Amino acid sequence: MAVELRYEGSDDPPAFLVKFTNGQLNCENVEEVPDVTLLKAEDDSNATSANPRRMLLAETSQMVYLGKNFGPDRHPDNFCKYLVGLMDRVTGEMTLHDALTITMHPRPHMVSSESEGESNAVGDMSYREQYSKLIESFGSGRKKKLVEARQKSQLDDSSLDASIVIAKDYAHTELDNEDSSSLNEQWMSNQARMIPPFDANAETPMDVFKLEDLITPEEYNAIKGLAQSFVEAKQSDVDQWRTEKKYPEYVLRHVEQLWAVVASKVVKRRARCLTYLSFLMAIYNTPHREFTQHGLQQFNLPSVVENRIKSLFTESPARVDRKSRCVIPSRLRDKLLCYILVLSLYIDNFSFDCAILARDLGIQPQKMGEYWRTIGCHMKTQKQKASSSSGDSDQMRILNVELKVPFKLPSPRKRSAQRTR
């Protein structure tokens, strides 16, 4: 059907295009649709100009929105003219009207006993109180409900400050009176969630962390084909991988050490551990934004490995766009690092120099010491002289880590008895 356009201009635009800065309206819930009021200045000096001053006030049960076409909160002027079309389906004619763009900014329901009372009060009542009184007397039922809900949710500055002081004193009193043993138990419980399952009564370091808890039997069988490339690798392959930076240096050096191992069973087990470790290190070194955009699919993991890593180290927050994207929060990122360290201990027979591993992970060895202590390791820093090509001797710091038995998790650091009030 052909549509005929007809423009009707006016000095005062009858239509408004509104944008809310803190999100979109939820029009499904009728009760949450804001009640909008248009405010005009009767003595406005710009009333005859092309841009008369207008204000929009939108109210809900929890928030008040205010928008103006003047001042610093006005919609940015992009030299565009906005029109709204109304189409008559019977005649096929569309009437175009001028539209005014306004950005709505939220204003929380906060009663300020100083600023608002001084600026808007007339007599002993503020502007908000006068407006509420008018609504209670002459307003509609819906506006009366909005005023009642706002009064229930509003906060007073003086009472809020008093509540904060009371809560702070109560928290300090409870912390001072709390038994230190309960704090230790809570800390140990949180500590145990960050590291792989362990046996505190183990007699050997190998029995503290079981390989089956790091790599499940299903995963162990799924990475058999991928680990074969490490078993059959030659020096030329390792050199090419090092040039392409396909694997971390820690993994490549242990691939070179596989050639000196005689037992084929040990070679296959260590190759699979290195393969799984390369997965974890690649995920840990991936930037947050890149991981959020592409997820685990970018690593081409076996489905069994991908599902377990996703359940252990990622979360899937609820998103409005209905796209299921997994993220790694900071606490699960620390958990991932603990699994990497434990698996590297298993590969190096529970005692090695962690400098290369720290460099591959982008962490200073001293900072990594906190994570080694978290999984119950002992550390020893040694200084070794290394001769350079110029003949000068430099000091090299080597950080050796070792897992000893009996296994014991570190105790929480004692806080200072003096607290900041």
- Domain extent listing, the chain: 4-158, 198-352
Burial class (CB in 10 A: 0-12, 13-18, 19+), 141: exposed
pLDDT value of residue 22: 77
Chain-centroid distance of CA 73 in Å reads 30
Interatomic CA distance for residues 158 and 111, integer angstroms: 10
Beta strand spans in 224-312 (E): none
**Per-residue pLDDT at 302:** 92
pTM: 0.53
Q: Which DSSP string corresponds to 15-53? A: EEEEEETT----TTSGGGSPEEEEEE-TT-TTTTSSS--
- Residue 155 has φ and ψ, to the nearest 5°, of -120, 140
pLDDT in the model for residue 120: 47
d(CA 369, CA 385): 22
Model pLDDT, residue 154? 66
CA distance 143 to 141: 6
The confidence score (pLDDT) of residue 144 equals 85
Amino acid sitting at position 22 = N
Question: Residue 58: its pLDDT value, please?
Answer: 84
Determine the pLDDT at residue 215: 92
Closest CA to 20 of 77, 63, 72: 63
* pLDDT on residue 182: 53
Q: What is the mean pLDDT for each group of 10 consecutive residues in the chain (421 residues)? A: 76 76 72 77 57 80 80 70 84 85 74 47 68 81 83 62 62 54 52 78 88 91 92 92 93 89 83 93 91 87 91 74 71 91 90 88 84 85 55 55 84 47 39
User: What pLDDT sits at residue 170?
Assistant: 60
